[in-house]
Amino acid sequence: MKKYILILAVLISFECYAQQKPQYTQYIFNQYLLNPALSGIENYIDFKAGYRQQWSGINEAPQTSFVSAHWALGDNQLWSNALTDFPEQSGNPMDRNYMQNYMSSPAHHGMGITAVLDKTGPLSRLDANLTYAYHIQLSNSFNLSAGVAAGLSRISLDVNALTFDQPNDPAVSSAFVNQLKPDLSVGLWLYGARVFAGLSVQQILPQKLSFTNDNTYNLGKEVPHFFATAGYKFFLDEDIAAIPSIMVKYVQPSPISIDLNMKVAFKDRIWLGGSYRKDDSFSAMAGFNIGKMVNLTYSYDFTTSDLNQVSNGSHEIVLGLLLNNIYKVPSYIRMW
């Protein structure tokens, strides 16, 4: 009798396919999703909302929706330095004058919130976290921040989407449909006018995952996700800048994943980008800023793994808002 086969398959997917957190292409423009140390890195409210369709063309493939927002704490948020103090007439906080006169921001606190809904077949996962970071001033040129994210994960199984040999199979009535688990992440972020580097760990609390009372099938577990990233900005001419970056990800027992990224921006108002994820995909990205408040980005992943025979690639779109943007910054200063 096969009464547990599909539930077992779900459990095995947690154990063997180790990446349990969603995958993003545009994390280079919202590193906050992967590293809580970016909380309050700017003195405006950075809000983003996005949607990702993974492996389009495959039924029940992963779909991810998210919202995030973070901001600096305290009445001293409008600090008077190069973080926001640039020539108003230039309209471009990332021009050469800004770089030459850059000063690191004073020590400050930041906080934020994230909510991520990820759905794959009969499984769905909702992560809701509150984040906090403290930014110290290492020198006139560099800051270092440390952050933590804490919250809850709700993991749900839609038993109505499962098919059993017996319509009234006991597996349905005994299945754990919803589970709540604590969630904790930590991170570090080093940043200056042109360079950034970060380390973070998500899902660091060990948790068992089970959808049945039968100990034979209690094999599922959550595993930590490790991220290391770095990048540098240089100018091709007065109006065009290029930002190469790299991210290394490790989730046991999967092989180490390496992303190579490049963004080319024109006055930080219009930009094009590309990314290569080893043994997985090539990605093309584009975006633009609308006035001083809104930006919109889109990416498409060309699958290079064996899934390219059945997948039409992956789509991702992100809307960003710069709220309480008193200095009228036209683009993200620190979001490379």
Distance CA 317, CA 204 (A): 28
- Is pTM beyond 0.75? Reply is yes
| Residue pair 330/292 in contact by the 8 Å Cβ criterion | yes
Most confident region among 8-17, 177-186, 304-313, 318-327 by mean pLDDT: 177-186
Distance CA 16, CA 84 (A): 47
b/e map of 261-292 (b: 16 or more CB within 10 Å)?
bbbebebbbebebebebeebbebebebebeee
Closest CA to 248 of 204, 282, 201, 286: 201
Distance CA 156, CA 170 (A): 18
Per-residue confidence (pLDDT) for residue 196, from 0 to 100: 94
Q: Render 262-304 in DSSP notation, one character per residue.
A: EEEEETTTEEEEEEEETTTEEEEEEEEEETTTEEEEEEEEEE-
Residue 306 has pLDDT above 80, yes or no: no
Average pLDDT of every residue of the chain: 79
Longest dimension (CA), the chain: 74
Most confident region among 145-159, 278-292, 293-307 by mean pLDDT: 145-159
Distance CA 43, CA 327 (A): 9
b/e map of 87-109 (b: 16 or more CB within 10 Å)?
eeeebbbbbeebbeebbbbeebb
Tokens 């154990």 -> residue: 15
Closest CA to 16 of 225, 226, 257, 219: 219
The Cα-based distances of 294 to 106, 273, 325 in angstroms read 27, 19, 11
Per-residue pLDDT tens digits for 311-328: 677 889 999 998 877 666
Q: Which helix (H) or strand (E) holds 15?
A: helix 5-16
Closest CA to 238 of 271, 261, 265: 265
Per-residue pLDDT tens digits for 40-96: 988 788 999 999 988 776 777 788 999 999 999 876 554 444 344 444 444 455 555
Q: Nearest-5° angle of CA 111, CA 116, CA 121? A: 170
- Confidence band for 187, pLDDT divided at 50, 70 and 90: very high
Where residue 324 falls (left for φ over 0; alpha for ψ -120 to 50; beta otherwise) is left
